[in-house]
Structure 1
Amino acid sequence: MTKPLNAPPPAVPKQKRSLESQEAILLATERLLTREGGNDFTLLDLSRESGMSVGGIYRRFVDKQGLMLVMQQRLNERMLQDYTEFAREASQSAANLKQLVPVLIAGMTELLRRHAAVLRKIVEESMHHPEMAQNGIQIYHAHLALFKRDLLRYRAEIAHDDPEYAIEFCFNAVYELVASHLAFGRGSTVTEQDWPRLLANLQRLCLNFLAYPL
């Protein structure tokens, strides 16, 4: 089981209005992060975007880094929920490894693409904050554990002599190539032109690596 993330919890709102205010801050942060240069927003920018006073923001989050840690946790929870939902559907519809692999790869890559705008900014921010970087490692391994769990249902069908290593290899390859395509950790973005080809190649790579012996 993975360790809990290290994000310091925000002050727990006790009333509906306070809950709504906190949600407004988080949604405003997400909007700011998806804009060009979003990482450079100030608390004054956030105040204007959310309609909350700077003092109101400080009452809920110690500083910008604390806010970004909460955003990282929030995004992780959303992505884990999304993965769980599509993986359940994929597992119910697939009858064997060869049917499951392409569907899981498609779902995993689409999940990264869907959240790319915010995820890109969080990756960039984590390069300067060790705590966020450590959380990112924990998140990565949490997703790997789920991916491995789903594919190991068909352990006997995996042609590699070390099924767990083979699954980790595929997960790492998919994540690294998608991260490169979506420009995680870089300032520029890339076009969507080659996305279908990338997806097809990743599905082919993982299916051949897992299901067919050399």
Structure 2
Amino acid sequence: MSTFGTQTRALATSAISRKPRQGRSLASFERMLEATKALMLERGSEDFTLQDVSERGNVSIGSIYLRFESKDRLLHAVIAQELEQVIAGERAMIDEVLAQSGSLAEFLPLYIDRYSRFLAENAALLRTIMQRAAIDPAVSGPGRETAQRSARMSLDAIMTFRDEIGGADPEIKVQAVFQIIFATIARQYGLGATAESGDEKVWTLMKPELSRMALAYLLFDEQSSIRPADR
């Protein structure tokens, strides 16, 4: 079952001028995508030419133009594929962590560790995609869609343990915790450095919760175990 989001699927579909149908043409098509991805990782940007792709992938320039109208379209195809793989990989990671966790106390440290590793492994390519999204509306929509789907998976996973979460609104608490976890990891690996990473709606929702968490932490008396609500 495809993990494509609606906008990501549209990006993938519009990128390709002519889809490969036979084994040899399909293999050549895959080499184009793999070579482009390898160059994006190697250069840390889109600073390469279709000739570079041709040489790296052992495909002719004519074959590339048969499948893609331009370098931009080739990049769109690679980005759509990578966004799909990020979602699929993250889903598998979260499912594995949930399967090993019987409580929130077991889940959180394992999740943070595995999520950190996952973002670290994908950081280089995600940074390049973010750079593209900042200047290309065709990519910004699918990028935002993927970020939202990614966040929803983590939120749902933490909410699996909602019976252990105190307070009147567990969902708000879970969103605040996830945003802090993501922001910390993203900063560690250099993600979210562009305007594309910002979401004003999420920030508006999270600011009051962040303030409350900071206040509760500062007022908490660890030695006497007196919480602000008990004073």
- The equivalent of 1:48 in structure 2 is 55
The 2-side partners of 1:49 and 1:185 are apart by: 30
- The equivalent of 2:200 in structure 1 is none
CA deviation vs aligned residue, 1:153-207 (integer Å, no higher than 9, x gap): 11111124322222222332233333332223669xxxxxxxxxxxxxxxxx9xx
- The equivalent of 1:30 in structure 2 is 37
The structure with the larger Rg is 2
Number of aligned residue pairs: give it: 192
Aligned with 1:183 (options 181, 190, 193): 190
The runs of 5 or more residues in structure 2 that have no matched partner are 195-212, 218-226
- The equivalent of 1:197 in structure 2 is none
What does 1:9-158 align with in structure 2 at a 5 Å threshold? Answer: 9=13, 10=16, 11-158=18-165
The 1-side partners of 2:12 and 2:91 are apart by: 25
Contact 1:86 1:107 in 2 (8 A): yes
**Aligned AA for 2:165?**
I
Larger mean Cα displacement after TM superposition, 2-11 or 94-103: 2-11
Structure 1 residue 144: Cα displacement: 1.1
State the secondary structure of the residue aligned to 2:6.
Answer: coil
Larger mean Cα displacement after TM superposition, 64-73 or 170-179: 170-179
Name the Cα RMSD after superposition: 2.6
Runs of 4+ off more than 3 Å? 1-4, 184-187
State the secondary structure of the residue aligned to 2:20.
Answer: coil
Higher relative contact order (CA 8 A, sep 6+): 1
The 1-side partners of 2:24 and 2:5 are apart by: 34
Structure 1 residue 2: Cα displacement: 5.5
**Aligned AA for 2:138?**
E
**Aligned AA for 1:16?**
G
Contact 1:109 1:174 in 2 (8 A): no
- Relative distance call for 1:86 and 1:125 in structure 2 (3 A) is same
Structure 1 residue 132: Cα displacement: 0.8
TM-score, with structure 2 as normaliser: 0.74
Contact 1:8 1:66 in 2 (8 A): no
The 1-side partners of 2:44 and 2:150 are apart by: 28
TM-score, with structure 1 as normaliser: 0.79
Contact 1:83 1:107 in 2 (8 A): no
**Aligned AA for 1:43?**
L
- Relative distance call for 1:67 and 1:161 in structure 2 (3 A) is farther
**Aligned AA for 2:145?**
Q
Structure 1 residue 15: Cα displacement: 0.6
The 2-side partners of 1:33 and 1:122 are apart by: 9
- Relative distance call for 1:141 and 1:186 in structure 2 (3 A) is closer
**Aligned AA for 1:3?**
T
The runs of 5 or more residues in structure 1 that have no matched partner are 188-204
- The equivalent of 2:224 in structure 1 is none
